[in-house]
Amino acid sequence: MEENNSLPNKYDAALAKYNTHLNDADIQARVAELIEKKVPENDTEDVKKFLFNCIDLTTLNSTDSDESVMHFTEKVNKFDDEYPDLKNVAAICVYPNFAAIVKNTLEVDGVNIACVSGGFPSSQTFIEVKVAETALAIADGADEIDIVISVGKFLSGDYAGMCEEIQELKEVCKERHLKVILETGALKSASNIKKASILSMYSGADFIKTSTGKQQPAATPEAAYVMCEAIREYYQKTGIKVGFKPAGGINTVNDAIIYYTIVKELLGEEWLDNQLFRLGTSRLANLLLSDIKGEEVKFF
């Protein structure tokens, strides 16, 4: 029995192919240098327009209702007429019980319907509930599903339990994008963020996402840096491109430009596309519009 326990399982074997022994202070220093040297050159109108087109426009409130979500979606419908020179947001992100409302209200092409699922935001429920919730969201019109890893399983070393859930939910999603939220603020260290990134991609994630926005700290440049490094290394080893989505705590245009810069520098121009880069936010849309138009805009 001892001999069997000493054999690495497939998840440990997957992790062993990567450097997951990271130094948090080193990551902080690299991020600080990158921000200082590269962010100013990306503070342009073209970058802001691109970032707007990468937004998953999000409403995830306990006060959401059929009426409020319908009104939220109608703003996206009106956007093209109000701002014909700008590309619309990438997606509308809602709780799964509102997928049908968005589908029945949304009238514009090119804007996807994203739903959180799987016991969001804690991921603490039965796998059967997670599967049913995801399947129901897709049946009601969801194009994309955002789930949270089982953070407790990951932190206790139950990588198989965490990964098998992701695999099962990816089977439900089939060709639809599955975005896997790491809840990086709960993972505490760069090493844990790297491990969770690799395991999520190994299990079928189409995107890895920083945070739910329901726990602090949410997205940070340091977490983004580690995740993008993991995406790059995973692509180099497998040829599979996985997308990146920072979410939660993106409160300023400069915050968004920092994430853009990290993606550009670590992953390159190929990832500067809303099929591989998203921003999860509610407040950023008006802030970007205000910067682009040179006046305060409260459209959304």
Beta-sheet strand order (sheet of 55-58): 243-245, 207-209, 177-181, 144-148, 112-116, 91-94, 55-58, 279-281
* Cβ-proximal residues to 214 (8 Å cutoff; 6+ apart), any chain: 60, 121, 248
The label of the residue with tokens 């920083």 reads 210
Q: Is the pLDDT of residue 212 over 70?
A: yes
Average pLDDT of every residue of the chain: 96
Q: Quick one: what percent of the chain has pLDDT higher than 90?
A: 96
Beta strand pairing call for 91-94 and 207-209 = unpaired
pLDDT of residue 6: 54
**Choice among 194, 195, 245, 264 that is catalytic:** 245
Residues 115-132 have a mean pLDDT of: 98
Distance, C-alpha 182 to centroid of its chain:
9
292 Cβ partners below 8 Å, 6+ apart? 45, 48, 49, 52, 86
67 burial type by CB count under 10 A (0-12 exposed, 13-18 middle, 19+ buried): exposed
Map out the domains of the chain with their CATH numbers.
Answer: 9-293 (3.20.20.70)
Average pLDDT of the residues in 265-272: 98
Residue whose tokens read 């790491």: 182
Q: Tell me: pLDDT of 3 over 70.
A: no
What contacts 22, CB < 8 A, 6 or more positions away?
Answer: 189, 190, 191, 194, 226
Report whether 118 contacts 148 (CB < 8 A).
yes
The 10s digit of each residue's pLDDT in 146-193 is 999 999 999 999 999 999 999 999 999 999 999 999 999 999 999 999
Given the residues 170, 194, 209, 264, the one annotated as active site: 209
Is 245 known to be catalytic? yes
Strand pairing category for 177-181 and 144-148? parallel
* pLDDT reading at 5 higher than 60: no
* Three-state SS at 138: helix
With a pLDDT cut of 70, the percent of the chain lying above it is 97
130 is catalytic: no
Rounded to 10 degrees, the C-alpha dihedral 122/127/128/129 comes to 0
d(CA 290, CA 294): 6
pLDDT digits (tens, 9 = 90+) for 225-234: 999 999 999 9
pLDDT in tens, 27-81: 999 999 999 999 999 999 999 999 999 999 999 999 999 999 999 999 999 999 9
Residue 13 pLDDT greater than 70, yes or no: yes
- Write down the catalytic residue from 56, 143, 146, 206: 146
pLDDT band at 215 (very low <50, low <70, confident <90, very high): confident
